[in-house]
Chains A and B, each alone.
Chain A
Amino acid sequence: MVESLFSGEFLALAGAAIAALAGIGSAIGVGVAGEAAAGVVSEDPNKFGQVLLLQALPGTQGIYGLLIAFLVMVKVGLLGGDGMIELTMIQGAGIFAAALPIGFVGIFSGIAQGKAAAAGIMLVGKKPSELAKGMLFAAMVETYAVLALLVSFLMLNSIHV
């Protein structure tokens, strides 16, 4: 039982799971931004469209995590219908390591972006003409999620199975 836990296959699956955890960050981020958006709309319902854009921004981390999780599953043959291929311990550990960047950066950048988006939403609440600037501030955080996605993707691609 314990040996099967530390097999290459298990480590690869654990990697896919960690990548998908980036969704935690997005969920918290979109949640915080959503509360702020509701606050603005409660005062001025016409701003719904503008604040919705900002609320959606922290959602990307979850998508990046999903992407890496999918790539891992394709790589190990889980989605092919032929069953999982056999992996050595080294291969499994490699896939696990490749999933870490997007998993962790996704969680924290999602939360941080949610706060920045909430602040942007408040900016729109006060000065509707400044939507672009508010979006830009929140989008800055996106850079680091994209970088983590890139690292995860490159690492995953270079592992041969």
Chain B
Amino acid sequence: MSKNKIYPFAVASVRSMENSLMTKQKLMQMADAKTAEEALRILSDSAYGKTQIKGIYEFEKMIGNHLEETYQAVAGLIPQETFIDIFLYKNDYHNIKVLLKEEVSKASGKKFLIQGGTIPIETLRKNLRERNYIELPNINGEAVEEAVNMYAKTHNGRYIDSILDKACFSTMEKAAKKLGNAYVSKYVQMLADITNLKTLLRVKKMDRDYQVLEESFVPGGGVGLEFFSRAFRSDSPVAVLKETPYGSLCEDYMDQGFTVFEKACDDYLMEYIKDAKYKTLTPEPVMAFILAKETEAKCIRIIMTCKMHNIDVAIIKERVREAYV
């Protein structure tokens, strides 16, 4: 994609589609609902309502269908470009994880598979079973092999996750580099950094060894591993991380528990994504729309799951992420 290429059609379509996004108020309304059924009714009035479902336990189907529709609609806007793929690799890698675990555990992981990757699930399943990576471009075959071997040696499912997460981020990083769009590159970098920050916090909380952090460290971020190792060994990780671009994020939220920090991370990324609101012809808004939809889906999942377990409204509201619109 050349630097000055403009996409008026795609951006204008996306701007119109943005009307179908749920605002923060609407999400809060869902959180305020008395029962899960009522929350579902509010959801059905939105763009998600296209899928008819039987009861609250099927709400995931609604989200899945809508996300898939969104991916397809957006991909159709700019068929000659593949930059949307960068945001879909994570779905591919998620499916690979599920399929590999299905293979080793012999249990069915059907309900964990998600649509919307760059490769259809059936193709993925068939070629993964035959270990035929030629048919799976963009998938790091070596990483898949490594994950399988590591599992055979350790019988620990964690390695499948961490090895494939690394592969996913390096695939995203490579694709972003190839694309040469500063907005996407920065996003991928921030996503990697924030994933690492969350890992650090989690490992610290669980009192695990540094080795676990190193194994789960994803590439592609702007903050190197040595920074994280220093933060890990220090008594106050926040003091070390203050020097990174994420200083204020860590200072304000890192000590407040994992749920709060995770929400703060999502809001931090959303703040960056929102930059695209002021772009008119370049492809940023198209990518921002996908990310906005994914965040929205996450919020709905949080709200519906909390509602189904009768969690207090105030707690749900604390967890609702910032919306794009």
Give the distance to chain A from B323, nearest Cβ to Cβ, in Å: 15
The answer to the question of B19 belonging to the interface, with a C-beta cut-off of 8 Å to chain A, is yes
The answer to the question of A44 belonging to the interface, with a C-beta cut-off of 8 Å to chain B, is yes
Interface of chain B residues 1 through 59 with chain A (CB within 8 A): 6, 8-19
Measured between alpha carbons, how far is A123 from B16 in the docked complex, in Å?
9
Would B8 and A36 count as touching, CB distance under 8 A? Answer: yes
Residue in A closest to B10 when the chains form the complex, CB atoms: A39
Give the distance to chain A from B70, nearest Cβ to Cβ, in Å: 13
The answer to the question of A160 belonging to the interface, with a C-beta cut-off of 8 Å to chain B, is no
Residue in B closest to A47 when the chains form the complex, CB atoms: B16
Size bracket of the A interface: 10 to 19
Would A39 and B280 count as touching, CB distance under 8 A? Answer: no
Would A122 and B9 count as touching, CB distance under 8 A? Answer: no
Q: Interface-forming stretch among A8-16, A87-95, A113-121, A140-148?
A: A113-121
The answer to the question of B281 belonging to the interface, with a C-beta cut-off of 8 Å to chain A, is yes
Would B281 and A118 count as touching, CB distance under 8 A? Answer: yes
The answer to the question of A100 belonging to the interface, with a C-beta cut-off of 8 Å to chain B, is no
Give the distance to chain A from B276, nearest Cβ to Cβ, in Å: 12
Given A32-B6, A43-B17, also A125-B12 (CB < 8 A): yes
The answer to the question of A37 belonging to the interface, with a C-beta cut-off of 8 Å to chain B, is yes
Would A39 and B8 count as touching, CB distance under 8 A? Answer: yes
Would A38 and B9 count as touching, CB distance under 8 A? Answer: yes
Number of B residues contacting the other chain (C-beta, 8 Å)? Answer: 16
* Residues in A whose Cβ lies below 8 Å from that of B281: 32, 115, 118-119
Would A39 and B6 count as touching, CB distance under 8 A? Answer: no
Would B280 and A40 count as touching, CB distance under 8 A? Answer: no
Most central of B6, B9, B12, B15 by chain A CB within 10 Å: B12
* Residues in B whose Cβ lies below 8 Å from that of A123: 15
Give the distance to chain A from B63, nearest Cβ to Cβ, in Å: 21
The answer to the question of A35 belonging to the interface, with a C-beta cut-off of 8 Å to chain B, is yes
Would A40 and B6 count as touching, CB distance under 8 A? Answer: no
Would B9 and A35 count as touching, CB distance under 8 A? Answer: yes
Give the distance to chain B from A49, nearest Cβ to Cβ, in Å: 15
* Residues in B whose Cβ lies below 8 Å from that of A38: 9, 12
Give the distance to chain A from B157, nearest Cβ to Cβ, in Å: 43
Give the distance to chain B from A48, nearest Cβ to Cβ, in Å: 13
Measured between alpha carbons, how far is A44 from B17 in the docked complex, in Å?
9
Would A39 and B18 count as touching, CB distance under 8 A? Answer: no
Among B6, B8, B9, B15, the residue within 8 A (CB) of A126 is B15
Among A42, A115, A119, the residue within 8 A (CB) of B13 is A42
Would A37 and B12 count as touching, CB distance under 8 A? Answer: yes
* Residues in A whose Cβ lies below 8 Å from that of B6: 32
Shortest beta-carbon contacts, A-B, top 3? A39-B12, A43-B16, A35-B8
New contact pairs (11) apart from A39-B15, A122-B280, A123-B15, CB-CB < 8 Å: A35-B9, A35-B12, A36-B9, A39-B9, A39-B13, A40-B12, A43-B17, A115-B280, A119-B280, A119-B281, A125-B12
Which residue numbers of A lie inside 8 Å of B, CB to CB?
Answer: 32-33, 35-40, 42-44, 115, 118-119, 121-123, 125-126
Which residue numbers of B lie inside 8 Å of A, CB to CB?
Answer: 6, 8-19, 77, 280-281
16 contacts between A and B (CB under 8 A): A32-B281, A35-B9, A35-B12, A36-B9, A37-B12, A40-B12, A40-B16, A42-B13, A43-B17, A115-B280, A115-B281, A119-B280, A119-B281, A122-B12, A122-B280, A125-B16
